[in-house]
Amino acid sequence: MIKKAVLPVAGLGTRFLPATKASPKEMLPILDKPLIQYAVEEAVKVGIEEFLFITGKHKRAIEDHFDKAYELEERLKRAGKYDLLEKINCFENLNIAYIRQKEPKGLGDAILCAKPFVKDEAFVVILSDDLIDPDHSVLHEMIKIYEEKKAPVIALEAVPLEEVSRYGIVSGKKIDGYYIVDNLIEKPEPAHAPSNLAIIGRYILTPQIFKYLDSLQPGRGGEIQLTDALKVLLDETVIYGYIIEGKRYDAGEKLGYLKTIVEFALKDTEISYQFVSFLKDKFSNL
């Protein structure tokens, strides 16, 4: 059973500057909930009990978000706002630890910081800026594959060829609904991409990855890339690719973030009606 999740949140979030100069990208809200909360809720749904956040400078707001807020709780109690109280109290039983990545040297380096927490267990990695439709449990399907194969599993999505240079790209053989990965390249140019299958921010990893991360040289963008470590890991183990079902939103860049908010607003029973009439009004004038 997989009980541990690692959530790297130490990146600089440069695509959202200046908003991310002093506050974490992972705290950007989709309606009233920050991205990181969607990630934690997704993990809780599949039975994750222990969380490790890989944090960095200016990420204190994330720790505060998952901490108790005594004064606010008191005020809400006094005002009889129990619905809001419930909303801010939902993390009380979570077991969360924090390790600081000294410098944002890349996702691979961030994952390496999790070594003492993971020990000898398989673990889930969630990148909170890839928001997956909460109606589809990608992690549940990935854990099923892990439990059968006892090998790493990565989430995949077919993307337009012109977008491959934004992702880790894999190629592989399709068998029984999943892929057996045979190659991985971080952010290739379209002409050099082995396919259009992009790695999405959900992984199930085994502790085998740490020895490769430990000795890895910086790759694309001068960063320690998880994709590069997975590529050398292929010499030791099979890696499975699971094509996600349901919608995935790239909330880590401006246009994707905006699309995510619109989609969530259209599904929100409290505001969707008024939001739709606002949009109709707006587009009728175009």
DSSP string, the chain: ---EEEEE-----GGGTTTTSSS-GGG-EETTEEHHHHHHHHHHHTT--EEEEEE-TT-HHHHHHTS--HHHHHHHHHTT-HHHHHHHSTTTT-EEEEEE-SS---HHHHHHTTHHHHTTS-EEEE-TTEEE-TTS-HHHHHHHHHHHH-S-EEEEEE--GGGGGGSEEEEEEEETTEEEEEEEEES--GGG-S-SEEEEEEEEE-TTHHHHHHTPPP-GGGS--HHHHHHHHTTTS--EEEE--S-EEETTSHHHHHHHHHHHHHH-TTTHHHHHHHHHHHHHT-
CB atoms within 10 A of CB 136: 15
127, 145, 139: which is closest to 244 by C-alpha?
139
11 is an interface residue for ligand UTP by CB under 6 A: yes
Piece of the chain touching ligand UTP by CB under 6 A; list 3-11, 149-157, 191-199, 257-265: 3-11
For residue 112, the minimal CB distance to ligand UTP (Å) is 10
Residue closer to ligand UTP by CB (options 172, 252) is 252
For residue 118, the minimal CB distance to ligand UTP (Å) is 15
For residue 107, the minimal CB distance to ligand UTP (Å) is 5
Residue closer to ligand UTP by CB (options 170, 199) is 199
Applying CB under 6 A, which of residues 252, 257, 264, 265 lies at the interface with ligand UTP? 252
For residue 224, the minimal CB distance to ligand UTP (Å) is 8
207, 214, 242: which is closest to 228 by C-alpha?
214
Residue closer to ligand UTP by CB (options 53, 264) is 53
9 is an interface residue for ligand UTP by CB under 6 A: yes
Residue with tokens 């997956």: 132
For residue 20, the minimal CB distance to ligand UTP (Å) is 8
Applying CB under 6 A, which of residues 37, 128, 195, 225 lies at the interface with ligand UTP? 128
Residue closer to ligand UTP by CB (options 83, 103) is 103
What is the distance between the alpha carbons of residues 11 and 19, in angstroms, rounded to a whole number? 14
Piece of the chain touching ligand UTP by CB under 6 A; list 123-131, 192-200, 260-268, 278-286: 123-131
Select the residue whose beta carbon is closest to ligand UTP and give its number: 11
15 is an interface residue for ligand UTP by CB under 6 A: yes
| Total residue count of the chain as it appears in this document | 286
Is residue 169 within 8 Å of 276, Cβ to Cβ?
Answer: no
* Total chain residues near ligand UTP (CB under 6 A): 22
| String marking each residue 78-117 x if it binds ligand UTP according to CB under 6 A | -----------------------x--xxxx-xx-------
For residue 40, the minimal CB distance to ligand UTP (Å) is 13
| String marking each residue 45-84 x if it binds ligand UTP according to CB under 6 A | ---------x------------------------------
Interacting residues toward ligand UTP by CB under 6 A: 8-15, 25-26, 54, 101, 104-107, 109-110, 127-129, 252
